[in-house]
Amino acid sequence: MVNLPLAHDLLWGMTPAQLPADAPQWAIESLAAGQPVVVRRAVSDEGLIAVGVRGLLREQRLATFMRLDSIACRVSPEALCHAESARDLPVTRALRQLRQMLDDCGWVWGVSGSVGFELASGFAAMHAASDLDLILRTPHLITRHQARELVALFDQAACRVDMQLQTPFGAVALREWASASARVLLKNAQQAQLVIDPWNPQERAA
């Protein structure tokens, strides 16, 4: 593939044979059923990509690696912005409620988490208490004031909404960037570190 998959992309093509020998039975069954895996942030060897396998239960998550040459299909979170579900749940109502506003903001956004997984794959993952997980591609600074405005809008939605801001240097939680914390947690494949500015992580306090 020309472009390497990004965190939160869903990938099809991994088989149970690629799992570690000690993989749990639920992970074997998930892949045997044709479920996708989700790209995660971690350093991987050449020819491999770090992924996570989902089970039916919340605690059933397996971190592993997939061969890049096994990828048969790739779906990004932003490809799911306008995907619809026939299920009437708080998360699906929240997505419909926020979609136009996010489209109008001018940034590239996407759907991840259980909602993105179900919209892309058709495998049931959402439930009545699910959060709506979103990502926002932010190559340039979003001010803390803009972050607080987004949080205020999200807090009017039908369920809890969590968004990750995807900066050139990693991801930071929108709610954390909107908070009064002097430093926020920036996560990338190499590390998680507390920074003053996620768009300029080398900046030091005066």
Give the pLDDT confidence of 90-133 residue by residue, as tens digits. 999 999 999 999 999 888 999 999 999 999 999 999 999 999 99
Q: In terms of residue numbers, what domain contains 111?
A: 77-195
Last residue of a domain, one of 54, 75, 96: 75
pTM score of the predicted model: 0.92
Examine the pLDDT at 48 and tell me if it is beyond 50: yes
Q: What is the mean pLDDT of residues 66-85?
A: 96
User: What is the pLDDT at residue 204?
Assistant: 55
Percentage of residues of the chain with pLDDT beyond 90: 90
Assigned token pair, 95: 């997505």
Confidence label for 205 from pLDDT (cuts 50, 70 and 90) = very low
Q: Is residue 2 part of a domain?
A: no
Q: Is residue 43 part of a domain?
A: yes
Confidence label for 168 from pLDDT (cuts 50, 70 and 90) = very high
Last residue of a domain, one of 60, 75, 90: 75
| Helix, strand, coil percent values for the chain (each to nearest 5) | 30, 25, 45
Amino acid at 190: Q
Q: Is residue 5 part of a domain?
A: no
Percentage of residues of the chain with pLDDT beyond 70: 97
Q: Strand runs (DSSP E) across 21-128, as ranges?
A: 37-39, 48-54, 61-67, 73-75, 108-111
Quick check: 164 and 184 in contact, CB under 8 A? no
Q: Are residues 28 and 81 in the same domain?
A: no
Distance of alpha carbon 63 from alpha carbon 175, whole angstroms: 26
CA-closest candidate to residue 184, choices 140, 147, 154, 159: 147
Q: Are residues 81 and 170 in the same domain?
A: yes
Instruction: Provide the annotated active-site residues.
Output: 131, 133
Confidence label for 58 from pLDDT (cuts 50, 70 and 90) = confident
